[in-house]
Structure formats: structure tokens, C-alpha cells
Amino acid sequence: MIVLYILGACAGLVLLLLAASLVRTLFITPRRSAYEPAPDPARAGAYAEKLSAMIRQETVSVPGENQREKFLAFHRLLEQLFPRVHAQLEKTELDGNLLFSWKGKSSARPLVLMSHQDVVPAEGEWIHPPFSGDLADGKVWGRGASDTKCSLMAFFQAVEELLESGYVPENDVYLSSSCTEEWAGDGCPKLVAELKKRGVHPFLVCDEGGGIIREPIAGIPGNFAMIGVFEKGKADVRFTAVSDGGHASTPKPHSPVARLADFVHDVETHSVFRRKMPGEVAAMFQTLAPYASFPLRWVFGNLWLFRPLLLRVLPLISAQAGAMIRTTVAFTMLSGSEACNVMPQKASVSANMRFIPHQGMEESLALIRKRAEKYGLQTEVLQAADYTKPTDIHGEAFRLVVQTVNETFPGCAGSPYVMTGATDARFYEDICENVVRFAPVIYGPEQMKGMHGLNENIEISCLPGAVDFYRNLIRANTAV
């Protein structure tokens, strides 16, 4: 009887909590993301032509190579496209990396707009040649169209138009663009060192990363401004198994390849990393809740009740969302014997890890090393960097970005977002407390798929909004 009473009381409590959450959900006013770019064919066409020219100037960067001459050629093109920027702003070139300084009425709240010049290689069969810059089907096609010559074009154009109107910014503005972002090179650190030498401490840095994402989570239709507020850390790690080798006709148990396979299977099926929802991710769900269908609105609007459930199911329903709540490890490279009939004396598997703040670099590496030791594997960290400091989502700088989103893209909600990839923005944390990752262009599924892949493109219709965002952000940075 006592057991039945306890079960009944528990069931009653659960029903009460569910009822309370349903009532609370009913008070969440449903919203619809109605933002779509307003037709502006003249501006969109002119901007697309500039972006097309920038794509045609091939700027693939190669790790460790001095490619300054290639990027100087790209700089000459930029001078043709944006003559006022080059005539009226102070230009600094550092080994192909660019920094423009626009003196404002005050130096109290410097603003840094940044986007990289370099692109990744373009392999495979493309619908439009990767460096053609073709304008077709309402899109600009080519490597760098979305990552990230679109935003580079947009802030140069925004400053070009402000200069044409005679505008003088209230605070100093810097345009920063490295040529080594795609391989995490030393380009951006050189630009940061230059600003540090000048004693510049930016109030806000705005780089690529997030964007206006179409349907950021399945079941939430529309365009949403997803503003990256921190980056996960990352590491490349190699796990190696060794043995005496031998002929494959007389295999010994627990060979290097078998031990590696057991290790990989164990990590894939029994994660060693703890799931926890950062405050920035919780804020993202709360922002998106009013725009979701009722079941998702019920869950996202009541994290006080459904947080444990979300932590369990998110990795199953969305790889992107799942990566925001835990450290991840992705096995990417394998090596072993050079012949089918030879047992390897050494075999290895390499992985890319991404660290979450609640389980950072040191703890995550220690956990994966301990799991590897269980299978007799050696662990070698090839390179590693911890997560970046989050920008305060309740602070003035983040509010400024959200307000500019609201002004520029009516009906488009601005939401915090966790960057699972890496950008140059992390280098600016040495001199700036407010670093956001947001490119003001629309990324639908096609654009997301094309980044670093085939048929990269960007929709022409979103380019005027991108220019307007940067122009509005410069104008809005007025407080002293």
C-alpha cells in the first residue's frame, strides 16, 4: 500500500508539473518570423557585380606558404571597387592582411568589422565554375560567395556609401581582414598585435560565424539572426596502437587495428563527455520558443521542466544542437599497414575534438586519454586551443547588435548562438571583451551545404540588407 501511495503521489506531481507547463505555454504569444529581403533589384545587382569580381580573383590560401603577392592582387581589385575607402581611410597591409582605420569623433568605443579574404580549395564538379562569379538563378556562384567575401564586400560597401554622404562616425571604425583564416594562420594575430601596439581596445568586434539562418531548428520556420557569442575550443589528436607486426596468415589477437576499432566504437557508443546546457543555449531556445510549433514551444518555453529531456534527445535529433551541449570528438583519419597481408607494427586514428566551457580542454583531453589507455593506445595532441570567453548576452554590446538586427531586418528575431566551428574572432579576445560572430546574410540549407563544399553561392537579394546592417551598426555606435 505504501508503494502504491508513493507511485500515485509521484504520478500526481508529474501531472501537476505538466499541467503547469501547459498553462505557461498558453501564455507564450505565438509569433511568426516574417522577414524576407525587400525587393531592391538595382542595389542588389550592383552589389552582386562587386561580389562577383571578388570571387573571380582567386584567393585560395595554403598553410605555411607566403602568398602575399596573390593577396596584393586582390587588394588592387578592392581599391578599384571601393575607391573612397582607399582614398580616405588609413590603410595598413601586413603580409597580405588588411587593416583600415576610419577616424571618428571619439576613440572611446572603437568598432571592428572583420571578414577574411582567403578561401578554401574548390574541388569536384561544380554547376558553375568555382571562380567564375556567375550570376544565375538569383545567386552569386563561386568559392567565397558565402564564406566570406559576401560580408567583406558588404562592410566595404557600407563604408563607401557613408563616405560618399559625408558621414563622420561618432567612434573610430576599423576594417580588419586576414588572409590566413581558413587554416588558422598568423594573419589575424598580426592585425591584433598592430591594434594592441596602437593602444586600441575595441568596444565591439563583429566577425563571421552566425548569420541569418533559415529554419535554424526543424519545426521553426523563417529567417532568424543567429549571433555567435563564443566558440568551442578545438584540438587535433592522434591515437596510436603498436605491436610486433607479423604475417597476416597467423594473426595474433588484439592487433593494433582491432584495438583502434574497439576504442572508436566505445567512444561513439558510450560518450565520455557530460551534457550541460550553457546559459547562451538556453537563451537561444527561449528566444525561438514563440516561433515554434506548439509541441516545440511547450518544450523550449519550459526549460525548467524539460531541460533533462532536451539534454538526452538533442544529439539524436540535431548534430548542430547536440554539439552545443557537450564536447565532441569526430574520428577523421586512419592509417595502418601498407599491405593487406602484413600486420601493422603501428596503426593510428586521428580525431578532431571541440571543447565546451563546462568541460574544457584539459578535462576533455584527460578523459579521452584515459579511455584510450584502456585499449593500450598512445595519445598525441597535435594542436589544441580552449574555448573562448562568452560575450555577455545581457550586455550593452550584444544589445546593440540585436537592436541593429531589429532595425535592419524587421520581423527577424536576434538570438544568441554557440559557434561549433572556429573563426579569426577568437584572436581579438586579447584586446576586446565583446566579440560576436554574425554575418548579416541569409544562409539557407543550400548555402550551408556549399560552404567548403560544392556549388557555393549566396542569394543576391540578401546583399542590400547586409550592407544596410553594417551601415546601421556604425551609425548606432554613438554612446561615449
Distance CA 48, CA 134 (A): 10
H or E segment and range at residue 378: strand 378-385
Strand duo 171-177 + 139-141: pairing: unpaired
Helix (H) or strand (E) holding 362: helix 361-373
List the grid coordinates of 256.
593494433
| Inter-helix orientation angle 41-56/149-164, to 10° | 120
What span, in angstroms and rounded, lies between the C-alpha atoms of 473 and 401? 7
Place of cell 571601393: 82
The rounded distance, in Å, linking the Cα atoms of 5 and 9 is 6
Residues 112, 206: Cα–Cα separation, whole Å: 6
* Contact assessment for residue 469 and residue 428, using Cβ atoms and an 8 Å cutoff: no
CA distance 281 to 370: 29
Catalytic residue check, 118: yes
d(CA 345, CA 340): 13
Give CA separation, 161 vs 200, 201, 355, 442, 467, in Å. 25, 26, 41, 22, 9
Catalytic residue selected from 160, 181, 231, 459: 181
Q: Are 356 and 278 in contact (CB under 8 A)?
A: yes
181 is catalytic: yes
Contact criterion met (CB below 8 Å) for 243 and 256? yes
Task: Give, as one character, the DSSP assignment of residue 96.
Answer: T
Pairing of strands 435-443, 378-385: unpaired
Nearest CA to 159 out of 210, 87, 96 is that of 87
- As a three-state string, the secondary structure of 194-218 is HHHHHCCCCCEEEEEEEEEEECCCC
Residues marked active site are found at: 118, 181
